[in-house]
Structure 1
Amino acid sequence: MIVIWQRLLKNTKISGITLFPLIILRKPEYCQDPVLVNHEKIHLRQQAELLVIFFYIWYVIEYYYHFFKLKDAFLAYKSISFEREAYAMEDDFNYLETRKIWSFWKYI
């Protein structure tokens, strides 16, 4: 389900965030952005296959690993395997139909 929650994301650069089972977008018009929505749907699948809590634990650990290694918050975010998979496949609108379980592992 897609929810528009402008107040939550108001003072951030974040266009959308996935908090299982919701995709939260900053602006109503982002619902019409198929690439952004597909990116977030990929995160939904990742979260489901890791039983949600393990996704968040892994996400935070991987973020801090890259942050301390790269000393750059944005590069650390872009280096997270979940983000790498989602960015790499966000233009492929059939990806979720053929995606194998734990596909993010290829991006570690």
Structure 2
Amino acid sequence: MRPLVIVVPFLNVAGMALFPFILVYNKAALEDKVLINHERIHLQQQLELLVLPFYALYLLNYLYNYIRFRNHHKAYMAISFEREAYHHEREMGYLVNRRWYTWLRFL
């Protein structure tokens, strides 16, 4: 799957996967292979969960982590979807061999 990448200048983060799009904050980010791969991993996670359940689980995972850590950054970094994406973002061929629901290993 080759996602459509859209530049959104007012985006407050480097990138965001919003199925079926990847949003980035500037044109330079279009060339950031690691960022794009990270967001492509999220698109695959969204696809395997039929999109809407992904967002619900993402939010619940964040809230649980926030209560646990009382810190936004720690809570975000502990989200299982983010842990998988950060762990494999530099592996450009990761999605070719990735098994479905791999994010469960990062719970």
Q: What is the TM-score of this pair, normalised by structure 2? A: 0.96
Q: Which residue of 2 aligns with 1:18?
A: 17
Q: How is 1:58-77 mapped onto 2 (pairs within 5 angstroms)? A: 58-77=57-76
Q: Which residue of 1 aligns with 2:54?
A: 55
Q: Which runs of 5+ in 1 are unaligned?
A: none
Q: Distance in 2 between matches of 1:33 and 1:25?
A: 10
Structure 1 residue matching 2:17: 3-state secondary structure:
strand
Q: Distance in 2 between matches of 1:63 and 1:17?
A: 16
Identity %: 38
Root-mean-square deviation (CA), in Å? 0.5
Q: Distance in 2 between matches of 1:24 and 1:71?
A: 28
**Deviation (angstroms), 1:21:** 0.4
Q: Distance in 1 between matches of 2:64 and 2:103?
A: 17
Equivalent position amino acid for 2:81 in 1:
F
Q: Distance in 1 between matches of 2:80 and 2:57?
A: 10
**Deviation (angstroms), 1:72:** 0.2
Q: Which residue of 2 aligns with 1:32?
A: 31
**Deviation (angstroms), 1:49:** 0.2
Structure 1 runs, 4 residues or longer, greater than 6 Å off: none
Q: Distance in 2 between matches of 1:70 and 1:44?
A: 27
Structure 1 or 2: more helix by fraction? 1
Residue-pair matches, total: 104
Structure 2 residue matching 1:88: 3-state secondary structure:
helix
Q: Which runs of 5+ in 2 are unaligned?
A: none
